[in-house]
Amino acid sequence: MSATDPVNPPGEPAPELLEGRLWVDGCFDFFHHGHAGAVVQARQLGDELYVGVHSDEAILENKGPTVMNLKERVMATDACRWVTKSIPYAPYVTQLDWITHYGCKYVVHGDDITSDSSGEDCYRFVKAADRFKVVKRTPSISTTDLVGRMLLCQRGHFIKSLQKMLEGVDGPGTEEERKKEGQAMKERIRLYATDETAKKPGVDVWFWSENDGFDKLFNGIGPRIGQRVVYVDGGFDLFSSGHIEFLKMVVETEEDLARKDGWYSEQNVNERKGKGEDYGPVFVVAGVHDDNVINKWKGVNYPIMNIYERGLCVLQCKYVNAVIFGAPFEPTKGYLTKFPWSTPDAVYHGPTSFMPSTKDVYAAPKEMGIYREIGHHEFETVNAGTIVQRIMKSRDVYEARQRAKGMKADLEAAHKERELLEEEQRQKESRLQK
């Protein structure tokens, strides 16, 4: 265990190990869809999911500097729909006493190796205790990949038309390869649109285009009786604390309004429960702009994440009930009144504008009397631009981290090869004994 990790896990211990309570841990640095992929697969294996988040100091010692601090990283895991509870300061090398303390029988991780500063497997103790479960690692995404895009100013990740890519029309490779990739991407969107159990449909998913209007991809739960439909839009690039706090404040604002109208009265709560289950007063629709729209306003290599990656990040957030891919930069009256659900009761915007425009893009919702502005908050300046500035300010350090990642991969490969040889030897000895 790192010297920077707490020796004992905080909080009261669970009375017993629970088969359905699972543990996942990690750095979760600017929570991307690769993290969400591991989390949703883990949640499918049980009924509860506890997520351990490593300290800034432990990550620095074993991997390199973080981009987001611990508070921001815990915010991200707390906002994930499939997470039951976040545990900060979890040890970098997973300890049996920690997961046992929280009643988690098994630890879940991707099929890649994660090693500490010495190159040793971080999950060696839980593997030895046969308390380890493996899920597939999300391909083609990592924090290191995203940092690389920032440092190298790459633009090859942009997607011209996500809808055509899912259909296998656009994209690299042969027709067969495009269709296979498109189907895989579509299935990942379906997975990330599941409810808190990770097993049933949860989030509505739609496309919008200037020519064709709205086009449904997946059905979710949809608005329930009495819920207000509200709309937010943005790039949601490098989905982070600024986005999360904004979305959380939208939900809290609507909850405050509903509280004044008696939504939480005992009679109304019991009435909703009598018809199935209780639910919140708001249905949040998030519009996600295309890559070319963001690049038009921000230039250089923005967005750092393409629309598919950004959409997956928004889909996994528990404050969102529907996602519209390809949402227009300017939500016009024609766009808002043709919503698949109903004309929004409110259109929310944050305290700052990250993509400058010479015109008021929210003129229509203001004229309609449905425009609402969220007040200032602690993370309002955190966006893709400021995250890139964090990287560039310490460029030498992060470039060293990139090089170290390569050397560490060699160590991990050597450990993997050793594990395979040991497994082959065990199987050979087993056959001889028979």
Question: pLDDT digits over 130-151, tens only?
Answer: 999 999 877 666 667 777 777 7
Among 160, 166, 203, smallest CA distance to 185 is for 166
Beta strand 371-373 with 346-349: parallel, antiparallel or unpaired?
parallel
C-alpha span between 312 and 335 (Å, rounded): 23
Q: Provide the pLDDT confidence category of residue 2 given band limits of 50, 70 and 90.
A: low
What is the per-residue pLDDT for 417?
A: 57
Q: Which letter does DSSP use for residue 249 in this model?
A: H
Q: Both tokens of residue 147?
A: 């940092």
Question: Would the pTM of this model clear 0.85, i.e. be above it?
Answer: yes
Which residues lie across from 218 on neighbouring strands?
A: 205
Among 390, 146, 348, 339, smallest CA distance to 231 is for 348
1 pLDDT above the threshold of 60: no
Given a contact cutoff of 8 angstroms between Cβ atoms, the answer to whether 308 and 182 are in contact is no
- CB burial string 233-260: b at 16+ within 10 A, e below: bbbbbbbbbbbbbbbbbbbebbeebbee
Given a contact cutoff of 8 angstroms between Cβ atoms, the answer to whether 236 and 79 are in contact is no
Q: Provide the pLDDT confidence category of residue 427 given band limits of 50, 70 and 90.
A: low
- pLDDT tens-digit readout, 229-262: 999 999 999 999 999 999 999 999 999 999 999 9
- When pLDDT is averaged across residues 72-85 and rounded to a whole number, the result is 97
- pLDDT tens-digit readout, 291-342: 999 999 888 889 999 999 999 999 999 999 999 999 999 999 999 999 999 9
413 pLDDT above the threshold of 60: no
- pLDDT tens-digit readout, 337-391: 999 999 999 999 987 655 556 689 999 999 999 999 998 999 998 888 888 888 7
**At a CB cut-off of 8 Å and minimum separation 6, what does 6 contact?**
89, 91
